[in-house]
Structure 1
Amino acid sequence: MLDTIKVNDKTLPWLIVERGFEIPSFNFAIESEEIAGRPGSIVKSRNLKEYRFELPLIIRNDYLSHGGMKKLDDVLNEVVRFFNYDDPVKLQFTSQDWYWNAYIEGPIELDKDRIGFWSFKINVVLADPYKYAVEGTKNTAISDQVSVVSTGTADSPVIVQATALQNASYYMITKNDEDYFMIGDDDLDKTVEDYTPTLWDNEMRAFTGWTKQTASTNIDGYTGGTTGGGMMLSSSNDSFMLKQETITATSGWNGAEYKHSFGKSAQDFVSTCKIHVNQKNKGSTHFAQYLYDTDNRLIASIGYRNARASQAIGSIVITLFDQLGQQKKIYEYTNSPMFYKWDDIVIYMRLERVGTTFKIKTWKYKELEYPKRVIPVDVNEKQWEDSGKFYQRPIAAVSVYTAKNGTNYHMPTYILGSYTHEKLPKPPKARDMIIKKGDVININTQDKTVTINEDPSLDLKTFGSDFFNINSGYNECIIYPEKTFDTTVYWQDRYL
């Protein structure tokens, strides 16, 4: 049977693997040292080394091959596109149920005078020397115990997803009484309190609790514009978006704002918003989450803008407003070039105030589907000091705003969530309720990341705990505290 290869789950039907290729495995190397006067040697280490090998391939080029006869340049260009990736690719033989994470090196050399078929080799580098099962496996904990059985020949990293059934100050998962991972504090001698009570958490699945704002012009000179337009739910009913037919102006930034009052005021706070921007078709957009004081005056804006009509060069902009309405920009972070090519980008923006200190944190995800948003990218943090105490007014309301520019194409912007919490003073010997009922914890032991509701939370990792791998064979994992979490463990069997 002719075997072909897949690169990131794509194939070229006329590209096949030459018969006789030997699959490399078990690349262990022993480092030893001979000592004079002593028989044999002393073993210093045993390591699994990287692989470097040539993969022989054949290109079929005849009338019976897929697509018929092809020109040399057409074939070469297709092959280059097939292998040209900056990051490691998922390299799989179609006859096998496993794959490598591989880098591909050149050159690719084809005989310009040959007709009918070409034979050539590509250089494969396996910095990660393991094979991974194509099909992943998962198991859900029952009574805070979960059995994880790996049929591979090597240990395997895992992804742990836990949903909180009630508030908790910590989460811990153990493996075979030999290792554990933990976030938070389980010291029972410390008082447990919720030092970040919720002011308003909303997942944008309904307009209940939001009030549409009438026509006016806000004072945000970076991500603002006129208000008075309307929003609507997305087709999936999981986000707000601009209802463009409600915008009639043909110039300037015009949009819609929806507001929610907390019913109380808060001095110290943390406010987060998340949006999804579809960049496939280039265009412009404005988004902002606004915080208002008790006199209904703007005190802060947490925004994102793309002011270019034909480029996907967006920026996160965070500003503050004094009592006179004067705006001060304290943060601007432009997307790096790697994001210009992304069709979709999920952006998180956070502003925190404690005393006179403002802390800013932003991060992004490439994945749109929620369960797949596990590894945050481009995490950026900054601190700014309000030394003059010009921006100390309590907050009492929040709003979300999105706008388009004139008749220019509006880059679709979906508002996915708005979350604002009060921050109460925490005594030195106290445990914070870092996990709230409904929170989702994701732990990725391969990439060494941990998130709570997609918020990077590596700083909460307990000293001494490890991002462990499961052993080959049977593993028993226990979850603490008991009767507090629904936990599912995901893994892929790994082979030497």
Structure 2
Amino acid sequence: MGMIFNGERRSYLSVLRGRERPAWAPIEHEFIEVPGRPGAYIKNKKTKVRQINVPVAIIGEDIADLQKLKEDLAAWLITDSPVPLIFEDEPDRTYFAEVTGSFDAEEIVKIGSGVVSFICPDPYKYGPRHHGVFESDVASITNSGTTETYPIFRATVKEPITLLDIVTDDEYMSIGESVDFESEVPFKKEERLLWDQMGSMIGWSDATAVDGGVITGSMVTDGYKFIASSYGTGAAWHGPAKRITIPNGPLTDFRMDAIVELGNRQAIKAGRVEIYLLDSSNAVIAKMALKDTHKGIALAYGEARLGGSTSKQFLINEYGDKKGSWNDFYGMLRIQRIGKKWTAYIAKIDTDTNLHHTRRTVSYLDVKGTYNKNVSQIAVHVAQYGSYSPATLGIYDLKVFRINSHSDEQIPYIADAGDVIEINHAKNSILINGEDRKDLKDFGASFFSLKSGTNTVQISPYSSLENVEVEWRPRYL
């Protein structure tokens, strides 16, 4: 019999009889004793760390090979944090474990035997992941585990909403605010004026200038993103650039979100992808960019700049938390202005979870109003430097929002059509389009669990949502 640890197994390892796998995690009680009263009151009860001792044998070709197998065993089993552990005689249960102690093998010729000890800081074991879809605003969710577990809810918004409620018999989660139709009105704080998913060139025209280079070559779409079909030629930066007028502009208070790619690590490639904010005369008001300008090393850096190439103020001009943080970048470039306050944001996006990570946010107060021109256009640009091999460059998505001010009688929308909301009760997280929005949580709301057995859950406003899903994993003592 064997085991699967961190998604891998080893053919040279066998699990022997005599393993110590407790039926449940250890439980510790804390008591209060009252003088003159027999026994005690239970003050507290907690489930402690589970330990699993596994006797194993490793079999090599000879004693020398056995030493190499022990090195491989260490590389496999020693991890920075708990990872999945599955035993082949219990394939539908998963522990989250890491090695503790040492492995002192008794060696006889080509066989080494000993005990591998695992600890599970999360003392529960888990069954397979379950997935359900809400067919109406109320759903029954059956948790087949022997203890409570924590669900994940996801929903796609069909129309603007000010509130999302998820309610059980005992607890509730709520984000945003409801609207009292007698005295309040819903309000679009962020009014989306432009959403281009870069599947068509309609509405785009040639840009007139870019920083430190020439506009040449051709920009096309592959149906999912803007890319260069040709970068043209030039001694410095050269590549195509396109611009689009923002509908219902120009804008004073606004936010621009762009999803871009700079794949620079493979074969050590250079390049840049840039987003320009322009006024009606094509003057640069601000710019966001990801670049790699290094020879012989992959080293991407991000840039957020106010003004043109002469009169300018950098908000971001760095590699991230450390050199290489933004290599092979797929993620968001964002810039926002409200009044005199500018805010720039760069973040990678996990393509599996849509979660933002490796982030940087910087704000700047333009006290003198140097960078106060209204924004009328957006330009996008990808470029190669000289004859250096270009990185993989693309623009996947572009959104522009007008940011409106509001009164106390106006309740802001928290999500618009197409937005994806995820509330993860296991991680205590609230995400909208992969971004943390725990600021929207109602004061009295809480992250809740699904009790063992059947749970009734209601979600609203259901009619304003689609693809309402719930995911959970049964837990066992």
Does the pair score TM above 0.5?
yes
> Do the aligned partners of 1:212 and 1:230 also contact (CA within 8 Å) in 2?
no
The match for 1:145 is: 138
Deviation at 1:357, TM superposition (A): 0.8
- In the TM superposition, what are the counterparts of 1:7-406 in structure 2 within 5 Å? 7-24=5-22, 25-62=24-61, 71-95=65-89, 96-110=91-105, 114-133=108-127, 135-176=128-169, 178-188=170-180, 189-213=183-207, 216=209, 218-219=210-211, 225-233=213-221, 237-243=223-229, 245-249=230-234, 251-263=235-247, 264-278=249-263, 280-281=265-266, 282-321=268-307, 326-337=311-322, 345-365=329-349, 367-369=350-352, 372-373=353-354, 375-406=355-386
Is the deviation greater in 102-111 or in 78-87?
102-111
Change (3 A) 1:51 1:138: same
1:488 aligns with 2:469: yes
Deviation at 1:30, TM superposition (A): 0.8
Which residue identity lines up with residue 250 of structure 2 in the other structure? S
Deviation at 1:241, TM superposition (A): 3.1
> Do the aligned partners of 2:231 and 2:384 also contact (CA within 8 Å) in 1?
no
Deviation at 1:104, TM superposition (A): 2.5
The match for 1:465 is: 445
Among 407, 411, 415, the alignment partner of 1:431 is 411
Q: Deviations over 1:31-81 (max 9, x none)?
A: 113333221112110111112343322212259xxxxx9723431332233
In structure 1, what is the Cα distance between the partners aligned to 2:453 and 2:263? 43
Change (3 A) 1:58 1:462: same
Deviation at 1:331, TM superposition (A): 2.1
TM-score (norm 2): 0.90
Deviation at 1:478, TM superposition (A): 0.9
Describe the SS at the equivalent of 2:9.
coil
In structure 1, what is the Cα distance between the partners aligned to 2:80 and 2:227? 34
Is the deviation greater in 376-385 or in 91-100?
376-385
Q: Deviations over 1:466-492 (max 9, x none)?
A: 122211111111111241112111111
Q: Deviations over 1:384-442 (max 9, x none)?
A: 10011000001011122222333334332342211110111111331112211121111
In structure 2, what is the Cα distance between the partners aligned to 1:333 and 1:128? 38
> Do the aligned partners of 2:264 and 2:300 also contact (CA within 8 Å) in 1?
no
TM-score (norm 1): 0.87
Q: Deviations over 1:451-470 (max 9, x none)?
A: 22223222222222112221
Deviation at 1:107, TM superposition (A): 3.2
In structure 2, what is the Cα distance between the partners aligned to 1:38 and 1:51? 34
In structure 2, what is the Cα distance between the partners aligned to 1:465 and 1:325? 50
In structure 2, what is the Cα distance between the partners aligned to 1:17 and 1:343? 41
Change (3 A) 1:377 1:230: same
> Do the aligned partners of 2:154 and 2:422 also contact (CA within 8 Å) in 1?
yes
Deviation at 1:232, TM superposition (A): 4.0
Aligned pair count? 470
Deviation at 1:325, TM superposition (A): 5.0
Is the deviation greater in 331-340 or in 187-196?
331-340
Change (3 A) 1:9 1:240: farther
> Do the aligned partners of 2:264 and 2:270 also contact (CA within 8 Å) in 1?
no
In structure 1, what is the Cα distance between the partners aligned to 2:307 and 2:192? 24
Change (3 A) 1:468 1:275: farther
CA RMSD of aligned residues (A): 2.6
The match for 1:66 is: none
1:455 aligns with 2:435: yes
Q: Deviations over 1:15-34 (max 9, x none)?
A: 22222213222322111133
Change (3 A) 1:185 1:54: same
Change (3 A) 1:409 1:191: same
Q: Deviations over 1:233-258 (max 9, x none)?
A: 45xx4333333x43433x43333222
Change (3 A) 1:253 1:7: farther
Deviation at 1:333, TM superposition (A): 4.6
In structure 2, what is the Cα distance between the partners aligned to 1:368 and 1:343? 15
In structure 2, what is the Cα distance between the partners aligned to 1:391 and 1:492? 51
Change (3 A) 1:182 1:392: same
Deviation at 1:280, TM superposition (A): 4.8
> Do the aligned partners of 1:99 and 1:132 also contact (CA within 8 Å) in 2?
yes
Deviation at 1:450, TM superposition (A): 1.7
> Do the aligned partners of 2:262 and 2:291 also contact (CA within 8 Å) in 1?
no
> Do the aligned partners of 1:344 and 1:368 also contact (CA within 8 Å) in 2?
no
Deviation at 1:382, TM superposition (A): 2.6
Which residue identity lines up with residue 156 of structure 1 in the other structure? T
Which residue identity lines up with residue 440 of structure 1 in the other structure? V
> Do the aligned partners of 2:159 and 2:417 also contact (CA within 8 Å) in 1?
yes
Change (3 A) 1:164 1:10: same
In structure 2, what is the Cα distance between the partners aligned to 1:93 and 1:185? 47
Which residue identity lines up with residue 270 of structure 1 in the other structure? R
In structure 2, what is the Cα distance between the partners aligned to 1:75 and 1:28? 37
Aligned-residue sequence identity (percent) comes to 22
Deviation at 1:321, TM superposition (A): 0.5
Describe the SS at the equivalent of 1:410.
coil
Which residue identity lines up with residue 20 of structure 2 in the other structure? E
In structure 1, what is the Cα distance between the partners aligned to 2:158 and 2:374? 32
In structure 2, what is the Cα distance between the partners aligned to 1:21 and 1:280? 45
